[in-house]
Amino acid sequence: MNKKGVDFRALVYLFTVIFCAILIIVFYLWQGVVAKDASGLIDIASEKVHKDDMLIDLLNYPLDSHKTIGDAVAQGELTKACYKSKDFFKSLYGENFLFVLSFDGDEFCETDESPSKPLKLISYIPTSNDEIKEVNLKI
Protein backbone atom coordinates (compact mmCIF):
# COMPACT_ATOMS: atom_id res chain seq x y z
CA MET A 1 0.00 0.00 0.00
CA ASN A 2 1.30 3.43 -0.89
CA LYS A 3 1.07 5.43 2.37
CA LYS A 4 2.17 8.63 0.68
CA GLY A 5 -0.91 8.44 -1.50
CA VAL A 6 -3.16 7.93 1.59
CA ASP A 7 -1.66 10.91 3.45
CA PHE A 8 -2.01 13.17 0.47
CA ARG A 9 -5.59 12.07 -0.09
CA ALA A 10 -6.43 12.72 3.58
CA LEU A 11 -4.83 16.15 3.37
CA VAL A 12 -6.80 17.04 0.26
CA TYR A 13 -10.03 15.90 1.96
CA LEU A 14 -9.21 17.98 4.99
CA PHE A 15 -8.59 21.12 2.96
CA THR A 16 -11.71 20.48 0.93
CA VAL A 17 -13.84 20.17 4.05
CA ILE A 18 -12.35 23.34 5.54
CA PHE A 19 -12.87 25.21 2.26
CA CYS A 20 -16.48 24.08 2.01
CA ALA A 21 -17.11 24.94 5.65
CA ILE A 22 -15.74 28.44 5.14
CA LEU A 23 -17.92 28.91 2.05
CA ILE A 24 -21.00 27.72 3.91
CA ILE A 25 -20.27 30.00 6.89
CA VAL A 26 -19.76 33.02 4.61
CA PHE A 27 -23.00 32.26 2.79
CA TYR A 28 -24.83 31.79 6.08
CA LEU A 29 -23.54 35.11 7.41
CA TRP A 30 -24.51 36.93 4.22
CA GLN A 31 -28.00 35.48 4.45
CA GLY A 32 -28.15 36.50 8.08
CA VAL A 33 -27.37 40.11 7.21
CA VAL A 34 -30.20 40.18 4.66
CA ALA A 35 -32.59 38.50 7.07
CA LYS A 36 -31.64 40.95 9.81
CA ASP A 37 -32.70 43.86 7.62
CA ALA A 38 -36.04 42.22 6.98
CA SER A 39 -36.71 41.32 10.58
CA GLY A 40 -35.76 44.85 11.59
CA LEU A 41 -38.44 46.27 9.33
CA ILE A 42 -41.01 43.83 10.63
CA ASP A 43 -40.31 45.00 14.17
CA ILE A 44 -40.67 48.62 13.07
CA ALA A 45 -43.92 47.83 11.23
CA SER A 46 -45.42 46.19 14.28
CA GLU A 47 -44.45 49.14 16.47
CA LYS A 48 -45.68 51.61 13.86
CA VAL A 49 -49.09 49.96 13.58
CA HIS A 50 -49.42 50.06 17.33
CA LYS A 51 -48.34 53.70 17.61
CA ASP A 52 -50.37 54.89 14.61
CA ASP A 53 -53.55 53.61 16.20
CA MET A 54 -52.95 55.44 19.46
CA LEU A 55 -54.57 58.74 18.48
CA ILE A 56 -57.73 57.15 17.08
CA ASP A 57 -57.91 54.83 20.11
CA LEU A 58 -57.55 57.84 22.38
CA LEU A 59 -60.21 59.88 20.59
CA ASN A 60 -62.65 56.97 20.68
CA TYR A 61 -62.01 56.30 24.37
CA PRO A 62 -65.16 56.90 26.46
CA LEU A 63 -65.17 59.96 28.68
CA ASP A 64 -68.53 59.08 30.18
CA SER A 65 -71.57 57.08 29.12
CA HIS A 66 -72.50 59.52 26.34
CA LYS A 67 -69.24 61.00 25.22
CA THR A 68 -65.79 60.08 23.97
CA ILE A 69 -62.57 62.03 24.42
CA GLY A 70 -62.93 63.00 20.74
CA ASP A 71 -66.40 64.47 21.43
CA ALA A 72 -65.02 66.47 24.34
CA VAL A 73 -62.11 67.78 22.23
CA ALA A 74 -64.47 68.72 19.38
CA GLN A 75 -66.74 70.56 21.82
CA GLY A 76 -63.85 72.47 23.36
CA GLU A 77 -63.96 70.69 26.72
CA LEU A 78 -60.18 70.43 26.71
CA THR A 79 -59.62 70.21 30.48
CA LYS A 80 -61.87 67.17 30.76
CA ALA A 81 -60.31 65.65 27.66
CA CYS A 82 -56.80 66.16 29.06
CA TYR A 83 -57.67 64.63 32.42
CA LYS A 84 -59.09 61.53 30.75
CA SER A 85 -56.23 61.33 28.23
CA LYS A 86 -53.72 61.18 31.08
CA ASP A 87 -55.79 58.36 32.57
CA PHE A 88 -55.80 56.56 29.22
CA PHE A 89 -52.03 56.67 28.75
CA LYS A 90 -51.30 55.91 32.39
CA SER A 91 -53.51 52.83 32.45
CA LEU A 92 -52.28 51.45 29.11
CA TYR A 93 -48.63 52.49 28.92
CA GLY A 94 -47.58 53.37 32.45
CA GLU A 95 -46.78 56.59 34.24
CA ASN A 96 -43.61 57.32 32.31
CA PHE A 97 -45.30 57.54 28.94
CA LEU A 98 -44.52 60.93 27.41
CA PHE A 99 -46.95 62.74 25.14
CA VAL A 100 -48.16 66.14 23.97
CA LEU A 101 -51.72 66.67 22.74
CA SER A 102 -52.76 69.71 20.76
CA PHE A 103 -56.01 70.91 19.25
CA ASP A 104 -56.12 73.41 16.42
CA GLY A 105 -52.44 74.21 16.98
CA ASP A 106 -52.71 74.84 20.74
CA GLU A 107 -51.07 72.36 23.09
CA PHE A 108 -53.62 71.61 25.78
CA CYS A 109 -52.30 68.48 27.43
CA GLU A 110 -48.76 67.30 28.02
CA THR A 111 -46.61 65.36 30.43
CA ASP A 112 -43.93 67.06 32.56
CA GLU A 113 -41.30 66.06 30.03
CA SER A 114 -41.82 66.18 26.30
CA PRO A 115 -40.97 63.14 24.19
CA SER A 116 -37.60 63.35 22.47
CA LYS A 117 -37.70 62.64 18.72
CA PRO A 118 -41.51 62.54 18.81
CA LEU A 119 -43.72 60.70 16.36
CA LYS A 120 -46.49 63.09 15.30
CA LEU A 121 -49.94 61.66 14.69
CA ILE A 122 -52.65 63.75 13.05
CA SER A 123 -56.39 63.39 12.96
CA TYR A 124 -59.14 65.68 11.70
CA ILE A 125 -62.24 66.24 13.72
CA PRO A 126 -65.48 68.08 12.87
CA THR A 127 -66.75 70.56 15.44
CA SER A 128 -70.27 71.57 16.38
CA ASN A 129 -69.89 74.94 14.64
CA ASP A 130 -69.26 73.30 11.26
CA GLU A 131 -65.49 73.60 11.25
CA ILE A 132 -62.79 71.01 10.82
CA LYS A 133 -59.98 71.13 13.35
CA GLU A 134 -56.73 69.25 13.58
CA VAL A 135 -55.81 67.13 16.59
CA ASN A 136 -52.12 66.24 17.06
CA LEU A 137 -50.56 63.71 19.33
CA LYS A 138 -46.80 63.65 19.78
CA ILE A 139 -45.46 60.50 21.41
Partner 1 sequence: MRKLLKSRKGFDWAFLIAGVTLICLVFLFFQLNKKMEHHDKPIGEMQMDVVDLVQKGDNILFYLDQSARLSACDAIYALADKGGFSSPPCGQTLPLLEQGPVPLPYTYSFWYNDESKCYEGADFYAGFKDVFNDKFRSRIDDYNIFKDKYAYVPPYNYEFLVTDNLIAGSAIKSIEMKKVSAVAGELGEARYVFKPSFAIDFKTGIEDYFSVQAAVDSLISCDKSMQECINDINTPGLKWSFEMMNPTTYLFKVEQENIDCRFKGNKPVIRFAIEKTITIQQALATPPVAAPPIPVP
Residues near partner 1 (CB under 8 A)? 4-5, 8-10, 12-13, 15-17, 19-20, 23-24, 27, 30-31, 34, 37-38, 41-42, 44-45, 48-49, 52-53, 56, 59-60, 66-67, 70-71, 74-75, 122-128, 130-132, 134
C-beta atoms surrounding 109 within 10 Å: 20
Beta 120-126 vs 132-138: how paired, if at all? antiparallel
Least distance from partner 1 to the Cβ atom of residue 90, Å: 23
**Is 70 or 78 the residue whose CB approaches partner 1 more closely?**
70
Helix (H, G, I), strand (E, B) or coil at 24: helix
Give whichever of 80 and 86 is closer to partner 1, judged by the CB atom.
80
Minimum CB–partner distance for residue 111 and partner 1 (Å): 23
Q: Which is nearer to partner 1, 111 or 127 (CB)?
A: 127
Closer residue to partner 1, CB minimum distance, 67 or 86: 67
Q: Say whether 38 sits in a helix, a strand or coil.
A: helix
**Cβ–Cβ < 8 Å for 74, 131:** no
> What DSSP assignment string belongs to 76-109?
T-HHHHHHHHHHHHHHHH-TT---EEEETTEEEE
